[in-house]
Chain A
Amino acid sequence: KAGVTQTPRYLIKTRGQQVTLSCSPISGHRSVSWYQQTPGQGLQFLFEYFSETQRNKGNFPGRFSGRQFSNSRSEMNVSTLELGDSALYLCASSSDRVAFFGQGTRLTVV
C-alpha cells in the first residue's frame, strides 16, 4: 500500500501571498488531518476531515482553511501569509484512530 503523499515537499512564499498544500491519503482511509510543526509551538492540530466534512478544528485563524475531495484527497490553504506561518506542515491519514503521516511540506515565508 502506498503511504501518505504530500506535495510539494518544499515551498518558499512571500508575505501576503497564499499557498495551497496537497495530501493524498492511504487508499481506503477516509480521515485526513493536518498539523503544523514549529520549533516554538511544537506539533499543533489544524483540522480534520472525514468524508468531505470538517469534523475537528484547531485554534488557528481563519486564514487557514482546508477541504477534502470525494476521493479523500485533501488540500489546505493559507491566505495572506505571515512570517510566522513558516513551518513544517504534516498531513496524516487515519483508520481506526491510528494516524499515518506524510513526509510533510516545508513552507518558508520570506
Chain B
Amino acid sequence: AQTVTQSQPEMSVQEAETVTLSCTYDTSESDYYLFWYKQPPSRQMILVIRQEAYKQQNATENRFSVNFQKAAKSFSLKISDSQLGDAAMYFCASTLTYKYIFGTGTRLKVLA
C-alpha cells in the first residue's frame, strides 16, 4: 500500500528567506508520480509542482523546487524567496493511477 508522511505539522519562514518542507513516501511500485499541493484559506487545492518517478532530474517551477531522493523515498519541497502569499497548508501526494494518497500537511507561516 502507498503511504505518504509529512512529519512537520507547522513551519515558519521569514519573508524572502528559504524554507524546506519534508515528505517521505512508501510504495512498492516503480511507476508513480509525486506532487506538492498548496491549500490557502480559500480551501482550493493548487498544484505547486510534480515529479515523475522515472525522471532523475529534480523538478523546478520558478521559486519552487524539489529534492527527489528515490532510494530514500524522500520528496522535499524548497521554497526560495518566500512571499506572504506562500502562507498556506502544503500537502505532499503520490499516485500510481488516478488515486491520490495525501500526507497530513504542513502549515507554512510566512513572517513579515
Contact = CB atoms under 8 A, between A and B. Distances in A.
Interface of B: 33, 35, 37, 42-47, 50, 91, 95, 97-105
A33 B102 CA distance: 14
Contacts of A31: 98
A99 B44 contact: no
Contact of B98 (A55, A101, A103): A55
A103 B44 contact: yes
Interface residue tally on A, bucketed by range: 20 to 34
Interface stretch (A11-19, A43-51, A62-70, A74-82): A43-51
4 shortest interchain CB distances as A-B pairs? A101-B45, A43-B102, A56-B99, A103-B44
A90 B46 CA distance: 12
Given A31-B98, A33-B100, A97-B33, A42 B45 contact: no
Contacts of B103: 42
A103 B42 contact: yes
A104 B35 CA distance: 19
Contacts of B42: 103
Nearest to B102: A43
Contacts of B101: 45
B111 to A, nearest CB: 24
